[in-house]
Chain A
Amino acid sequence: MAKADMMNMTGQGPGDVVLEMKGISKSFGAVKALRGVDFELRKGEVMALLGENGAGKSTLVKVLAGLHTPDSGETRIDGKPFSLGSARLSHAASIAVAEQELSVIGALSAAENIFLGGVPFRGPWTRKRLAKKARPYLEAVGLHHLDPSTRVETLAVAERQLIEIARLLATDARILILDEPTAALNDSDIERVKAMVVRLARAGHSIIYVTHRLGEVFEIADRITTLRSGQSSPPVNVSDMTLEKVIEKMIGRPLEEMFPHRASSLGAIALEMQGVTTPALPLPQNLQVRKGEILGIAGQIGSGSEALLRAIAGADIVEGGSIEVHGRAFPRAHSLPEAMKRGVAYCSSDRKLDGIFAELPVSTNIISPSMQRVSPGGLVNRRRIRALTAEVSSQMAIDGSRAEYKVGALSGGNQQKVALGKWLGIAPRVLLVSEPTRGVDVGARAEIYGHLRRLAEEGMAIIFASSDIDEVQGLADRVVTMYRGRQVRVVDPTRVTSHELVRDITHPEEEAA
């Protein structure tokens, strides 16, 4: 039910300003994450913080949490100046954060996790006492059946996310920040979290709610602050906004201009997958992609979309079924280098983890999958390195003068271009990309879509997995929706609404059951 209705029931509304930030800027090397951001929060309100990937939301959250010190700007809490700069200070100011990257500690139990975040727990930490005090918080997030002494590493991502929120509750902080709290949750959990947020606001807590799910915003938020490319616009009341207006504020241009045209003609079958199973995908998977086609696999985190790509790439062990690229079959249980040899390139969703060498220069990154090509006879050939670097840089529009820059110092968009571009060196027939524009700002997103389309037109078959329905619908020639390891259906994105796609990947009826 809409927030406005909920509020009407109690007759209470948000009060005075508790938090005020003016002119906050933060840069990381070349990346200007925040540029003079203004932000305010009132007591008892839910302020939604929106923005595209790379707009600066997470940086702002980390600044408030004390994990980053702003380069400039001033902050006031309850009217009194406050210097952001350490986790301890933020903690003392009664600011608590449930981060997007989960920070639960695997080796410890759920109860221990709840109380280790600085919440006082006097006396011996025995199992019984911990469990007793933890139970109310676990119940508040819907984990009634969970034994508080369970080791967190044995729990699923959704449960870990809920424990992270439970820890937040235990701090009883005045200012609560939730960064994508529902990313890994199913619909019934999401409802519970939303109800909890509203309850907390009514009880006087001030909440900053960061989310990608615009529907949630209209249901629980009072006001919206939008960030775009590190800059903020003044907060607006939710009651004054519509979905289209919100989207426009976020991306600054109509949705249609983001994506290139679709494929006009397709070639022969480039990849064929039949009956493939892996430890992560117990149900047999079939798939087909043609030359020149961009296939989009839509699915939430954990739906199997990334696992599908990993299977083809050889990153996971294929236990059953067959895979053929350009008619040639893969050996059983093929490895990643074997897939590469047969023309398959895989770009994972987390480039910080395994997509780039952050401390090494752009040129070294670009040649890394092509070591054989640039070192004939085992000796490094500088000319070949320069040639390959120049070729890839020009193809991906990477500034050539930056060839010696550390990749980690580049903007998210440029990093992703390096992460993708390096695969061009092996002339792949099939390019697999998971979350192609994660952590990439708006301008670069459109550019990357353009590059992918161009590569397809030059004969490559591209499969990408994404949890962003707009991206899947805008870029792909064909869409496969996935839910819990099962392919739901294959559709033409131009003939289906985004609502239908969302239903495919979230299965609300099944969740409610």
Chain B
Amino acid sequence: MTLLKNPLLQRVLLLVIVYAAMAASVTNFGTTGNAYAILESSAMLGIVAAGLAVNMMAGELDLSVGSVAACAGLVAIMMSGHGLVIAIIAAVVPAVLYGILQGYAIARLQISSLVFTLGTFIGIRGLAYVISDERTLSLALSDLGISMALRERMLLIFSPFSLLMIGVLVLTGLLLRYSRPGREIFAIGGSRKESRAAGVPQTRPLVLSFATSAGLAALAGALASLKGGSATPGSYETVLLAAVTAALIGGVSLYGGRGSMLGVLIGVLTLQVLLSGLQLLGAPNWAANLATGLILLAFLGVDLVNGQSPVADAVRRYSLRARA
């Protein structure tokens, strides 16, 4: 029973339960075909969530990930004529540079990332409209092969895209756990003041976390757009909400210093299983919104009741009086 106290295991259990529930109530849910679809739809979100989670672990929040993904998707489509690799590099490299700049500005100005990334969120979205001239861009017929290649079904349920997602999560997880920069990110995340007093460099891990959130968002956006064959400047507006929800489900703390990539993977899968189930049940678009919002609030609530919050205090006072 003590095994169940492990938060990570709790989340795996939740995923299993949710999957089982869906498989029982929705026809064709438990097939390998559907598993492939779920993994496919998780890929983009998973990569973005990985980057955003790194940022959250550093105690920050990069609101601009959706806008960056949109720009990256557009750039990738525009450069698709030069092949998959060039397209991706062209999309990701500027994003990483942007992330470095953003992180540096936030670190040096010592400004709240919420406020700063609010500005870049809006600005980069504008940029997306500018570079695409407000049109939808599509892959040239001659390049459709790229799209097909990304979708190729491998090992029954995977595709290059979803395998890449898993690869990104594993690599990021390893770097976070076993390298100095990774540990620095955790340090400044959970205890910013103490880490400064302890002599932990402040700028380097911040810059790294923002470069990661932007870079991975760009990678995800580029690949997703190439796979889908087109990109629009208004896309990926909901990815921020979904990524944060997935990270929270996975145990990444908003207060920094806590979480793991494995948790992110579980969070993403849990969310996608739920949304996939809803879709198969024929629920309309807004239902996904409703569901995601409810899940997010539910996990916030669970976190609160468990912790040192005022509500736990109030509950105890009440129960002590009731006993009198």
Q: Do A and B come from one complex?
A: yes
Interface size on B, residues (CB 8 A): 31
Given contacts A125-B183, A126-B178, A333-B320, contact A105 B198 (CB under 8 A): yes
Who on chain A is nearest to B313 by CB? Answer: A317
- In the complex, what residues of A have CB within 8 A of residue B183's CB? 108, 112, 116, 125
- Which 6 residue pairs are nearest across A and B when measured between Cβ atoms? A103-B197, A107-B190, A107-B257, A333-B320, A103-B194, A124-B178
Contact of B184 among A87, A113, A116, A167 (CB under 8 A): A116
Give bound CA distance, A147 to B194, whole Å. 22
Against A, the Cβ 8 Å flags (1 = close, 0 = not) of B182-204 are 11101101110111111111000
Interchain CB contact under 8 A, B190 and A106: yes
Give bound CA distance, A118 to B256, whole Å. 21
Kindly provide the distance from the CB of A173 to the nearest chain B CB, expressed in whole angstroms: 11
Would you mind naming 17 contact pairs between A and B with Cβ atoms under 8 Å apart? A105-B195, A105-B200, A107-B187, A107-B191, A107-B256, A107-B257, A108-B183, A108-B186, A113-B198, A116-B195, A116-B200, A117-B199, A124-B179, A317-B316, A332-B320, A333-B321, A335-B317
B180 within 8 A of A: yes
Interface size on A, residues (CB 8 A): 29
Q: Other CB < 8 Å A-B pairs besides A105-B187, A107-B191, 4 of them?
A: A103-B194, A108-B187, A116-B183, A125-B180
Give bound CA distance, A103 to B195, whole Å. 7
Which interface residue of A87, A105, A116, A335 has the most chain B CB atoms within 10 A?
A105
Give bound CA distance, A174 to B180, whole Å. 24
Identify which of residues 250-301 in chain B touch chain A, using a CB-to-CB cut-off of 8 Å.
Answer: 256-258
Which interface residue of B193, B256, B317 has the most chain A CB atoms within 10 A?
B317
Interchain CB contact under 8 A, A116 and B317: no
Which interface residue of A91, A102, A108 has the most chain B CB atoms within 10 A?
A108
Contact of B258 among A102, A107, A117, A125 (CB under 8 A): A107
Given contacts A112-B183, A124-B179, contact A104 B320 (CB under 8 A): no
Kindly provide the distance from the CB of B241 to the nearest chain A CB, expressed in whole angstroms: 26
Interchain CB contact under 8 A, B317 and A317: yes
Interchain CB contact under 8 A, A332 and B199: no
Interchain CB contact under 8 A, B200 and A117: yes
Chain B interface mostly helix, strand, loop or mixed? Answer: helix
Q: A-side interface residues toward B, CB under 8 Å? A: 67, 87-88, 91, 99, 101-108, 112-113, 116-118, 121, 124-126, 167, 317, 319, 331-333, 335
B82 within 8 A of A: no
Interchain CB contact under 8 A, A121 and B180: yes
Given contacts A317-B320, A333-B316, contact A104 B198 (CB under 8 A): yes
- In the complex, what residues of B have CB within 8 A of residue A113's CB? 198
B108 within 8 A of A: no
Kindly provide the distance from the CB of B7 to the nearest chain A CB, expressed in whole angstroms: 13
Give bound CA distance, A425 to B195, whole Å. 40
Give bound CA distance, A106 to B198, whole Å. 12
Interchain CB contact under 8 A, A332 and B321: yes
- In the complex, what residues of B have CB within 8 A of residue A167's CB? 198
Give bound CA distance, A99 to B199, whole Å. 11
B302 within 8 A of A: no
- In the complex, what residues of A have CB within 8 A of residue B199's CB? 87, 91, 116-118
Kindly provide the distance from the CB of A409 to the nearest chain B CB, expressed in whole angstroms: 20
Kindly provide the distance from the CB of B59 to the nearest chain A CB, expressed in whole angstroms: 10
Who on chain A is nearest to B187 by CB? Answer: A105
- In the complex, what residues of B have CB within 8 A of residue A104's CB? 194, 198
Interchain CB contact under 8 A, B321 and A107: no
- In the complex, what residues of B have CB within 8 A of residue A319's CB? 320
Who on chain B is nearest to A90 by CB? Answer: B199
Chain A interface mostly helix, strand, loop or mixed? Answer: loop
Interchain CB contact under 8 A, B197 and A67: yes
Kindly provide the distance from the CB of A331 to the nearest chain B CB, expressed in whole angstroms: 7
- In the complex, what residues of A have CB within 8 A of residue B178's CB? 124-126
B3 within 8 A of A: no
B135 within 8 A of A: no
Given contacts A105-B191, A333-B316, contact A125 B197 (CB under 8 A): no
- In the complex, what residues of B have CB within 8 A of residue A102's CB? 194
- In the complex, what residues of B have CB within 8 A of residue A105's CB? 186-187, 190-191, 194-195, 198, 200, 257
Who on chain A is nearest to B318 by CB? Answer: A333
Give bound CA distance, A250 to B190, whole Å. 39
Identify which of residues 13-67 in chain B touch chain A, using a CB-to-CB cut-off of 8 Å.
Answer: none
- In the complex, what residues of A have CB within 8 A of residue B313's CB? 317
Give bound CA distance, A331 to B323, whole Å. 12
Given contacts A87-B199, A101-B197, contact A107 B317 (CB under 8 A): no
Who on chain A is nearest to B257 by CB? Answer: A107
Give bound CA distance, A428 to B42, whole Å. 61
Kindly provide the distance from the CB of A358 to the nearest chain B CB, expressed in whole angstroms: 15
Give bound CA distance, A107 to B256, whole Å. 9
Kindly provide the distance from the CB of A178 to the nearest chain B CB, expressed in whole angstroms: 14
Who on chain B is nearest to A171 by CB? Answer: B199
Interchain CB contact under 8 A, A99 and B187: no
B324 within 8 A of A: yes
- In the complex, what residues of B have CB within 8 A of residue A88's CB? 201
Who on chain B is nearest to A67 by CB? Answer: B197
- In the complex, what residues of B have CB within 8 A of residue A103's CB? 191, 193-198
- In the complex, what residues of B have CB within 8 A of residue A87's CB? 196, 199
Who on chain A is nearest to B191 by CB? Answer: A105
Interchain CB contact under 8 A, B324 and A332: yes
Which interface residue of B178, B318, B321 has the most chain A CB atoms within 10 A?
B178
Kindly provide the distance from the CB of A154 to the nearest chain B CB, expressed in whole angstroms: 13
Identify which of residues 145-191 in chain B touch chain A, using a CB-to-CB cut-off of 8 Å.
Answer: 177-180, 182-184, 186-187, 189-191
Who on chain A is nearest to B189 by CB? Answer: A107
Give bound CA distance, A91 to B200, whole Å. 11
Interchain CB contact under 8 A, B257 and A99: no
- In the complex, what residues of A have CB within 8 A of residue B194's CB? 102-106
- In the complex, what residues of B have CB within 8 A of residue A67's CB? 197
Interchain CB contact under 8 A, B317 and A333: yes
Give bound CA distance, A101 to B321, whole Å. 38
Interchain CB contact under 8 A, A125 and B198: no
Who on chain A is nearest to B314 by CB? Answer: A335
- In the complex, what residues of B have CB within 8 A of residue A99's CB? 197
Which interface residue of B191, B195, B199, B321 has the most chain A CB atoms within 10 A?
B199
Who on chain A is nearest to B57 by CB? Answer: A107
Give bound CA distance, A126 to B179, whole Å. 8
Interchain CB contact under 8 A, A116 and B197: no
- In the complex, what residues of B have CB within 8 A of residue A117's CB? 198-200
Interchain CB contact under 8 A, A106 and B184: no
Kindly provide the distance from the CB of B258 to the nearest chain A CB, expressed in whole angstroms: 6
Give bound CA distance, A112 to B187, whole Å. 9
Who on chain A is nearest to B323 by CB? Answer: A332
- In the complex, what residues of B have CB within 8 A of residue A333's CB? 316-318, 320-321
- In the complex, what residues of A have CB within 8 A of residue B186's CB? 105, 107-108
- In the complex, what residues of A have CB within 8 A of residue B316's CB? 317, 333
Which interface residue of A67, A106, A107 has the most chain B CB atoms within 10 A?
A107
Give bound CA distance, A101 to B191, whole Å. 13
Which interface residue of A87, A319, A333 has the most chain B CB atoms within 10 A?
A333
Kindly provide the distance from the CB of A90 to the nearest chain B CB, expressed in whole angstroms: 9
Give bound CA distance, A121 to B256, whole Å. 24
Who on chain A is nearest to B198 by CB? Answer: A103
Interchain CB contact under 8 A, B187 and A116: yes
Kindly provide the distance from the CB of A181 to the nearest chain B CB, expressed in whole angstroms: 15
Give bound CA distance, A162 to B196, whole Å. 19
Give bound CA distance, A167 to B316, whole Å. 39
